[in-house]
Every structure is written in C-alpha cells, then in structure tokens.
Structure 1
Amino acid sequence: METWLAVLVVIIVVCIKYVWDIPTEETFPYKILYRCVYLYGVISYTAARMMSYVNGKNFAENYRTFLTIMIPTAKETESTNSDVLIKTTEFDGIEVRQYQNVRLTGDGERPAFLFIHGGGYVLSSPGVYDDLLKLICRDLGYYVAQIDYTLAPEGKFPRAYNDCLTACLWFFRNSERFSVNPHRVVISGDSMGGQIAASVVQALCKDPTIPKPRAQVLMYPCLQFLDMRTPSYQRTRWLHGERPGILNHITVSLFLSFYLFGKEDTRFVNEVSGNSHVPNEFRKSSACMKRLNHDFIPGKLKFHSYNKAPENDKSSRPKELQDNAIWEENQNMLLDYRLCPMMGELEGLPIAYVITCGVDVFRDDAIMYCSNLRQANVPAIHKHYQKSFHGAITFPKEIIPSACEMRDDLLEFLRKEI
C-alpha cells in the first residue's frame, strides 16, 4: 500500500512540474485554473494508461473508471432541488435524465430542451450538467431531458447517433405526455455531444412525420475530423506540443478511434493526429474547400505562428506507410453527416446558436459551420468568449465569470427565440 501511495505521489509531482511548464498567453485570465484542469487531465490520462498495463483493459474503459472515481456520479434515483424534479426514465428504450419544474401546470405549450452530453464518445458524467439544465428548467419553464447514449468502445459508430436520434424521434411523437409543444423543441449538445446534436438535427429535418426542431444550440462543438490543422488546433499544438491529457489533436484522434473501431488503432490515431489521413486531392477539391476553409476564420483569431495546413507529404515515410489506406478504408465514415455534420445538407435547418471559446481546438469547427449555415440561408448566432476555455459553461461563476456570461446569454436566446 505504501509503495502504491509513493508511486502516486511521484506521478502527481511529475505531472505538476510537467503541466506548470506549459506556456499560456499573457491575456488569458485563468492561468492557474487552466493549469489545474490540465493537471487533472494529465493525471487521469497517465493513471488510465498505467491501469491498462495492470488489468489488461483498454485505455477508454480505464479512463472512464478513473474519472468515475474522481467525479461524483449523478444520483440514479429521483431527487429534488428547489422547484426541479430530476428523474431517470426512458425514451423508446434509451435512458434519459429528465428535469421537470414541479410548479408549472401542463398547458401543452411548454418548450423543451433535449441535451446530448460530451465526453469524447467515451465518457459520461450526467451530474456535471445538472446546474445548467436545472437553470433552463427552473428559470424558463422548459421541459429538459439529457440523453444517456451508449458510450464507446462498447457502442461503435453510429450507435451514439442512433441512440440520440431514436430518443428525439420518440419525444417528438410523444410530446403531449410532457405538455410540450412539438414546434418548440430545441436540440442541444456540447463538445462531441454538439457533433451528435448537429447530425441529429439534420436527420430530424428530413423526417416529414414530425415538426422541424425550433433551434439547435451547439456548445463548443466538434463538427469534423478531416482537418486537424485548423488555426485553433495549431494554436493548441503550439501551446502544448504533443502532450497528452488535454483536449488536443492526439486526444481527439484517440477518442475517435474508440468510437469508430471500438479499440485504439495506433496507425489510425497517428495518421489522424498528424493530419495525414486525408489525401491532397480531396483537400484541394471544391467540395472540401467550400466547407473547410481557413479563410472563414477571422485574422484576429489566427495566432502569430499560424501556417496554412501543409500538404499531406508522406514521401519521407517508410514505403509501407506511404499509401492512402486509412482514407480508402474510412472515407465513407469520415464524410458521413452522422459523424461529420460539416459535410451534411445544411439547407432548411433551424436557427443555430453556437458557443465558442478562445482556448479550444474545436473553436474553428464552429466558426466554419456558422459560415456554412449562413451560406445555406440558415440563421446562425455565434457567441465567442475569447477569455474562456472548452467546457467552461459548467463551471461556477465564482470561478469563471465568463461561464455566468455564457449561461445568461444562452438563457436570453432561449427566452426570446423559442
């Protein structure tokens, strides 16, 4: 026991030194907090890797187990808080965590907010979002449900998407049970959940048997896996290099591998994180340039060391690694709107409210998506919080004032537009 404790202490000390050496920009106001969040990620990542050597389980399972220990899980039984009743139920066999304002009487006109959590397709901590979702329920009178979809690696693509689509379709067709007006339903998600939400909205809009969603609310969403060298990816790489444990090109590629294949495919992770998984012919095509164009990113958001993404040059690699096998094997999935809503059909979609943060690899995905939506004549409201970082909306206002600003702005949109 003493030996393991000593090892843990050494790991923590090394991680602290490792994290405190990372550079941060002078204008960023939450340096210490950001380093603490990063430290938490590094310790979790390192512990999960070590656990895999010991118990033989894959990294994703151990990462999830470790975070479950570190983050208190949400109560599975009914619980009350103020005027909001939280209860676990099911929509067509898909588990959801619902929030209902007990002081409101049903009149059939209540709006609804269906939320899809993030976590890289691998992680789930429903209780993390309770404060935000209870706020929407209590202050605005929304019926709120958080969809607990099947995680990877147990559920491979497109399982998470299918679960969320199934739950949303059932809700639209049974909205009267919750005194909800089906024409006032908002689909929302954060991070990878934002990707699923955007894809589900595209599917729902094609279904003539249900009303179109009223709006889509995407919080710092990931919307594509074709370009891992957007300015925001480059900025994170400049800040942190190849360090694991934080949301960067390596972590995103790793989680994507677990979602697509149910395992860590080393070559796939290396190719995607190295941005060499897409051939130059496609990158230069009009279909790609129309949607994934760095010119959509304002110059002020391209940091000083930004370079236009280099061409896919494999000439220096061993001959067996110079082919486009990764692309040829996986291009259908990588271009599928269920995984890459950036390449989907955008015409006729509902208004989008999109949140981005200054410190976030997904920032430019969201900016490009807003530009694409507007070109398709879809209204898009983009709210950018430069002095904030990925996941901030769930932080207490006492810690990150911009989190309070994010929530206030979101509530104002939901109050006025829905």
Structure 2
Amino acid sequence: MAVPWLVLLLALPIFFLGAFVWAVFEHFLTTDVPATMQQRAKLRALHCGFLYVLTLGNILEKLGICSMPKFVRFLHDSMRIKKDPELIVTDLHFGTIPVRLFQPKAASSRLRRGIIFYHGGGSVFGSPDCHHGLCNHLARETDSVLLMIGYRMVPDHHSPAIFHDCLNASVYFLKAVETYGVDPSRVVVCGESIGGAMAAIITQALVGRSDLPRIRAQVLIYPAVQTFCLQLPSFQQNQNVPFLSRKFMVTVLCYYLAIDLSWRDAILNGSCVPPDVWRKYEKWLSPDNIPKKFKKRGFQPWSPGPFNEAAYLETKHTLDVENSPLLADDEIIAQLPEAFLVSCENDILRDDSLLYKKRLEDQGVRVTWYHLEDGFHGSLIFFDKKAFSFPCSLKIVNAVVNYVKGI
C-alpha cells in the first residue's frame, strides 16, 4: 500500500517541474519582449509564471478535474486582501449579481463622486478579490464611493451574460445613488481590458435613459472595442507580447463568445466577415485612421481571406454592438459623455483605443488620451503588487486618479 503513495510523491515534483520547464521553453520560443519595455527580466519571469499556471490549468482541464479558468481564478482569489482603515468595504448582491461597495469612512459635507468599476480578465480571469487593491486605491485616493461589479464568467457563462450583469447592476446602483451618498451628476464608469469594453458598452446602452442619472465620464483603460478585425497594426506588432498575445486573445474571445476553437483561423484571417460588412465598417476600422507614427514598426497592409459563410454563421455575433462598441451608430456616439482613454504601446489592443478615440472625437465628444510608451496589456493589475509592480502600472493609476478627481 505504501508503494503507490511513494510513487505518487515522487511523480508529483517531476510533473510540476516538467510543466514549469515547458512554460519556460514556450516563453522563450514564442514571446517577444520589446527593447523599449522597462524591467524586461521581471516581465519575462512573471510571464513564465503566467504560462506555468495556464499549463497546469489546461492539464487539469484535460484530465476532467477542473476547468482552466476556474483553476486560475482559484489561485488569484486565494491571495490575501488587505483592509484599509479609511474605507468601509461591503459585499452585496443586486438581485443575483455580486457587487463590492467601497465607501470612505470620513464624513463629507456633500454627496461624493461615484465610480462604477468593471474588472478585466477577458471573462476568463479576474474577480472582485483580484481587483480589490486597485478599487480600494481608487476609492481612497479620489474620495469616491466605488461599486465593483462581479459578473458571471466562463466556462459556465458566456456572452451576453457579462453585459446583462454589468448593465443590470449599473442601473440598480444609478437608481439609488443618493442612498449610497453619491452625487447623481458625478458618476463615472471605469474599466480595464474587457472591463473597459463594458464601460463603453454600458455607457452607450444608457444613452437616452431619462429615468437614470446621466453618466458624467467614461474611463476606458486599454479597452477591447471590436472583436473581429485582428490584423490592425498593433495586432501585428505586438502579437507575441505578454500578457495578451494574439493567439491567446483569440482563444479568450472564443471562450467568451462560445465559439468553437476550430474557427480561430477564420477569425484571424477575417474570412468570417462578409465583404459588404468590411466595406461598411472600413471607414472606422481602416489603418488609415491610425497615426503614421504607430505604423512604422513591422506593419504589413492586409486584406481579409475569402469569405467563409459557415464561419460567419458561427461567429457573426462578433459584429454585435454589445461585443464591438466601436460599431455603434453616430447618433449614439455623439451623445456619449467625455472619455479618458488609456493606451499602451506594447499592447495588441493599442489600436482599439486609437480608433475609438477618433470615433468619439469625430462626433464631438471630448477625449483625454493617455498613452504609455513602456506600457503593456494587464500592467494595471500589478500596481500594488510591490516587487511585481512596473513603472507603467503606477503611471496608469495616477493618471486615472488625477482625471477622476477633476470630475
């Protein structure tokens, strides 16, 4: 009886070591860390760890033990949450939707500013616990009441569940903002990555709602505002940059939109989009809309592959405004509140921000743009991780805090 246990004890370290070696090899064989990025060695080490966790999660999923997304979320939710003596933090439910409310303890002579925060992670990673430190900092430094929404995630839920949860929780909060000590004329929506997309989508969905306070501003931190054109200059230039490679993004996109992974190539080469649709949206998606200085590095003009109707039928919801807010009608865009847009040079989603910036400005919407030459996708989440933080992480947080304080 002792022999099987002994074999198991010997096999486990070999298994974990093998998975780690595989992750390290994958990093150095497939990953590009541009010379312009700061603390490159630390970035490489963190990315190796990231790939290691994904490798373990994928193995567990293949063994039928646990899905990869749930395994990753279990790990980052096991991190200790620090209490802030200056804030009252309350976990609530708006219906079935879990939310976390951050309220300054100090008395205020007037109603405070409100922030509705949608966390990132592609609906695969991320959670209220993972983003607790960030929201804690934003609420404290801006002296705001902050609501973080914990939406349903894959693999159990797919689009449009995240949209419905974010919209319903936002409406619930907006209808009762004064009971939370919030000034209804100073409510800001904020999100990063897919959370930035949600901030844009929710702001669009609330246009014309006379029964709700009007959103004062939208803060979009490297948002994904379209889900079907994956050959923009930044997608080509940064396709292998941590922590969001183009290959990984397509995988996450398929998870989120419940698209079979066999259609990844069709999504990448654009053959899933009808020619008339490309012509219709070319005015908003064309690389001509991106300043020349962003196209100097490794961009090749691109044309979509031959149209594949079967692929279109399986993936056509990528064209829905709820998944691609860049495609909203001009009359909706023109009614949006001012925006604060953050983009990172070493991010495949850089051009999403540039294209959305142009769309907003073309319709007369005021945009404040903050671009980081040394920034990369996901850098925001490291800002409070001490030894794991990067200069660009703190720059983004400080820029957001300064902007929100001006509202």
Identify the residue that residue 51 of structure 1 maps to in structure 2: 60
Q: What code does the residue aligned with 1:6 have? A: I
Identify the residue that residue 23 of structure 2 maps to in structure 1: 15
- TM-superposed CA distance for 1:31, in Å, is 1.3
The number of aligned residues is 392
Give the alignment partner of residue 361 of structure 2, picking from 374, 379, 402.
374
- TM-superposed CA distance for 1:272, in Å, is 1.5
Q: Residues of 2 paired with 1:213 and 1:70: CA distance?
A: 32
Check the 8 A contact 1:235/1:303 in 2, yes or no.
Answer: no
Pairwise mapping of residues 336-375 of structure 1 onto structure 2 (< 5 A)?
336-344=320-328, 345-375=332-362
Check the 8 A contact 1:47/1:66 in 2, yes or no.
Answer: no
Give the alignment partner of residue 390 of structure 1, picking from 362, 371, 377.
377
Deviates more, 1:110-119 or 1:47-56: 47-56
Identify the residue that residue 117 of structure 1 maps to in structure 2: 119
Identify the residue that residue 320 of structure 1 maps to in structure 2: none
1:64 aligns with 2:76: no
Identify the residue that residue 325 of structure 1 maps to in structure 2: 310
Q: Residues of 2 paired with 1:66 and 1:414: CA distance?
A: 31
Q: Which 4+ runs in 1 deviate beyond 3 A? A: 20-23, 396-399
Identity %: 24
- What TM-score do you get using the length of structure 2 for normalisation? 0.90
Identify the residue that residue 319 of structure 1 maps to in structure 2: none
Q: RMSD of aligned C-alpha atoms?
A: 2.1
Pairwise mapping of residues 196-215 of structure 1 onto structure 2 (< 5 A)?
196-215=198-217
Q: What code does the residue aligned with 1:295 have? A: D
Pairwise mapping of residues 17-416 of structure 1 onto structure 2 (< 5 A)?
17-21=25-29, 22-55=31-64, 61-69=67-75, 72-73=78-79, 80-105=83-108, 107=110, 109-237=111-239, 239=240, 246-261=243-258, 265-283=260-278, 285=279, 287-313=280-306, 323-331=308-316, 333-344=317-328, 345-396=332-383, 399-416=389-406
Check the 8 A contact 1:136/1:411 in 2, yes or no.
Answer: yes
Q: Residues of 1 paired with 2:305 and 2:382: CA distance?
A: 39
Counterparts in 2 of 1:258 and 1:136: CA distance versus 1, 3 Å:
same
Q: What code does the residue aligned with 1:85 have? A: I
Q: Residues of 1 paired with 2:122 and 2:71: CA distance?
A: 15
- TM-superposed CA distance for 1:74, in Å, is 6.3
Counterparts in 2 of 1:74 and 1:200: CA distance versus 1, 3 Å:
farther
Deviates more, 1:80-89 or 1:222-231: 80-89
Q: Secondary structure at the match of 1:81?
A: coil
- What TM-score do you get using the length of structure 1 for normalisation? 0.88
Q: Residues of 1 paired with 2:288 and 2:192: CA distance?
A: 25
Gaps of 5+ in 2: 1-8
Q: Secondary structure at the match of 2:20?
A: helix
Deviates more, 1:351-360 or 1:45-54: 45-54
Q: Residues of 2 paired with 1:74 and 1:147: CA distance?
A: 20
Q: Residues of 2 paired with 1:308 and 1:252: CA distance?
A: 21
Check the 8 A contact 1:38/1:246 in 2, yes or no.
Answer: yes
Q: Residues of 1 paired with 2:346 and 2:227: CA distance?
A: 19
- TM-superposed CA distance for 1:90, in Å, is 2.0
- TM-superposed CA distance for 1:194, in Å, is 1.0
- TM-superposed CA distance for 1:71, in Å, is 5.2
Q: Residues of 2 paired with 1:227 and 1:74: CA distance?
A: 39
Gaps of 5+ in 1: 315-322
Q: Secondary structure at the match of 2:368?
A: strand
